[in-house]
Amino acid sequence: MKSHYKVVVIGGGVVGTAILYHLAKYGWTDTLLVERNVLTSGSSWHAAGGFHALNSNPNVATLHAYTIDLLSEVEKESGVNISMHTTGGISYACNPDRWDALKASIRVFQSTGIDDVRLIGVDEILERCPIVKPDGIIGGLFAEREGHIDPSAVVHAYARAAKNRGASIVEKNRVLELNQRPDKSWDVVTEQGTINAEHVVNAGGLWAKQVGRMAGLELPVSPLEHMYLVTEAIPEVAKLGHELPTMVDLDGFSYLRQEQKGILIGIYETDHRHWNMDGAPWDYGFDLIQEDPDRIEHELTLSYERYPVLAEAGIKRWVNGAFTFTPDGNPLVGPVRGKDNYWVACGVMAGFMQGGGVGKALAEWMILGEPEDDIFGMDIARYGQHASNRQYIKETTGQFYSRRFVMSYPNEQLPAGRPLKVSPSYDQMTEAGARWGVSWGLEVPLYFAPKDYVENPTLRRSSAFDIVGAEVRHTREKAGLIDISGYSRYEVKGPQAQAWLDHVFACKIPKPGRSVLAPMLAPNGKLKGDLTIFNWGDGSYWIMGSYYLREWHMRWFESHLSEGVEVSDISDTYVGFSLCGPLARKVLERTTADDVSNEGFKFLACRTIDVGLIRAKVGRMSVTGEMGYEINCHASQHRSLRETLLKAGADLGLKEVGFGASLSMRLEKSYGIWSREFTQGYTPQMTLFDRFIDFTKPDFIGRDAALREKETQSARQLQVTLEVDATNADASGYEPILKDGKLVGYVTSGGYGHTIGKSLAMALIDRELAVPGTELTTFIVGDERACRVIPASPYDPEGKVLRM
């Protein structure tokens, strides 16, 4: 062990060794993995060892596929036999909604390039798995690249392959402290001495909490108990001429695979149990937790009914081990804001499915500056300080575990960790009928309904469809008031504020009293943000965007800070309302002596005005496509602002509406949103966002790459708006787009345009087809539907209403 390394990886499980391997593969061999005990002595050694290609997040599913392909490559490179059994896997449905969900999911996988999956009937399920009782099974989803491996062998294969490439590993050497030097390197204090490292990676698994706290972090992870059992040999299994596929009983909360001549069956019980929420004891290693079959009695009974051969099978061993979970079940990966050169790769519950993808992404991030793929679904920056609270972690991780195989619906609102953050008018809006969703811990109004109304969970149009439609029409005809507390707001000031903005953003920086839509790019030319910049004319600027991206954006801003500029997150200090619709100006005029006429307050203007008793910062814009104003005030004034506006507009028909209506209206204007039309995996030309780039500027982040794309017209796909021949359901995202049976793109988002009375979708499709009138097909909840490209902005295509 040397005294200095470029990278020290802490943790010798599947994730830590996969990271070490990828760093070495990409050329960083001055690296050391430090393990407190021996390799695999955490969660890795007792994992069930299954691997699955599928995930509810399509980008994470892509990394699953990468990991599966990598396993055989690493086996060959290392010479370690990982006992890889590619048996195929079947997830089956026993109720109509679940079957619809499987039919929809196969199309999502198709759109992301995972084409070795197909729907199968009961006969094929029985042919592949004769021990299953078919009663009630409607059908299943068969994935060819599923199976199981030897977990310990995989870890050792990654480790040996990494060492063969020049990396180093030290076992039985616990990390005691982490101390950062002024040069941003880290002193890693271990039992065998202190190591200085340029970068530190927390791949601590069950000990990730403690390793985070060594750097002053409270990570949103928690271990939970998980039980499976392995049977003695079963005659019906032993006499089969083939190995059983992995089986997932989605409605029975269990998974199953063959283990020699018996079977392994695991349970995701609804009665979850946390274990050592502050992290595993340091002397825990090749240990197990006392099994508790009574706690999984209900789910185990369902398994015994579904697989009758279990009734006569002896149990060889019980395994009750701990795995680390995050609030949404996906890993925490990436650099940590405010902790230079400290990286995390923890909370990887499905390590043998995701470890390779995590290792690849993190190595690319460290070496190249950005991962090749859009991994926001795993980025630690998707969480903020609110997610570090112990009770929040307990509720949300427990909810995820208990719902691992529970049927979920897109319009379902889950209760864990709520309500956490509320706008100052929350109680008044609740009394007015607001139904709430959540964004990054903040309650946001979805729509307003009668007090006794309850929305039904569904994969299709819900009972709230007509309520949202009425809010859309009311806003288009009169005026709507939308709580925009769920927007992020950043203040930029200082003598170099404009110069900094000019470098970080690709657009022309607005003049005093003006605002502008502002693309932000990475050095590789891909998108880093779709934001709005306001120049208030007093030397200060605001940047506004999506509330849930606050940590992600602040990490980016701070990583590019320079002298003479300050950037502050003021999202919880300033809140506001969007006042929009043809009567919005009349409402606002009643509250202010300032000139808010079209001539005096033009489209995209911004300034500070009096609204009632409030000194408000107002921008002339609206994401609904209607003439409108975004009115921002201090949080302490939010309630007063609401009352002022509602009183002023009472006789004009002003009503509160929710984000459901706003999303419908933005589709009618072909307005994209982040995580849908705009992601860090897309380029400006693909998304048509290049029209906001000022290529005359000599220097901004991503300029060279964006300019090359512009000059070569290299974007293979372009964003379009589609009209879909839907009936009782609408597109939601990642549905494939086909032309004559060939995959040519996919939906980025969709919904119903209540003003124009059409089902709409936005999509990325092959460039040559991105022409209005092109006839295509897609799949809505698994059912094939005709669709066609239409001109952008089907509502008010010339934008006259916005500028009234």
Domains annotated on the chain, with CATH:
4-325 (3.30.9.10), 426-449+464-485+573-680 (3.30.1360.120), 487-570+683-711 (3.30.70.1400), 716-804 (2.40.30.110)
The pLDDT of residue 736 is: 96
* Mean pLDDT, range 144-170, rounded to an integer: 97
Query: Treating both helix axes as pointing N-terminal to C-terminal, what angle do 58-78 and 351-368 enclose, rounded to 10 degrees?
Result: 90
When pLDDT is cut at 50, 70 and 90, the band that residue 603 belongs to is very high
Asked if 406 and 286 count as a contact pair (C-beta separation under 8 A), the reply is no
Residue 45 DSSP SS3: helix
Asked if 226 and 296 count as a contact pair (C-beta separation under 8 A), the reply is no
CA 159 distance to own-chain centroid = 30
613: exposed, middle or buried (Cβ count in 10 Å: 0-12, 13-18, 19+): exposed
Write down the residue that tokens 């043809």 correspond to. Answer: 582
Q: State how far the alpha carbon of 65 is from the alpha carbons of 68, 152, 189, in Å.
A: 5, 20, 37
pLDDT for residue 570 is more than 70: yes
* Mean pLDDT, range 630-634, rounded to an integer: 98
The pLDDT of residue 54 is: 66
Q: Element (H or E) spanning 777, and its range?
A: strand 775-780
The pLDDT of residue 101 is: 95
342: exposed, middle or buried (Cβ count in 10 Å: 0-12, 13-18, 19+): buried
Residue-wise pLDDT tens digits, 467-507: 999 999 999 999 999 999 999 999 999 999 999 999 999 99
When pLDDT is cut at 50, 70 and 90, the band that residue 193 belongs to is very high
CA–CA separation, 331 and 346 (whole Å) = 6
The pLDDT of residue 52 is: 81
CA–CA separation, 328 and 344 (whole Å) = 16
* pTM reported for the whole predicted model: 0.96
792: exposed, middle or buried (Cβ count in 10 Å: 0-12, 13-18, 19+): middle
Write down the residue that tokens 């195929």 correspond to. Answer: 88
CA–CA separation, 366 and 355 (whole Å) = 16
665: exposed, middle or buried (Cβ count in 10 Å: 0-12, 13-18, 19+): buried
When pLDDT is cut at 50, 70 and 90, the band that residue 219 belongs to is very high
123: exposed, middle or buried (Cβ count in 10 Å: 0-12, 13-18, 19+): exposed
pLDDT for residue 59 is more than 80: no
CA–CA separation, 765 and 756 (whole Å) = 23
| Residues 6 or more apart whose Cβ sits within 8 Å of residue 458 | 97, 409, 411
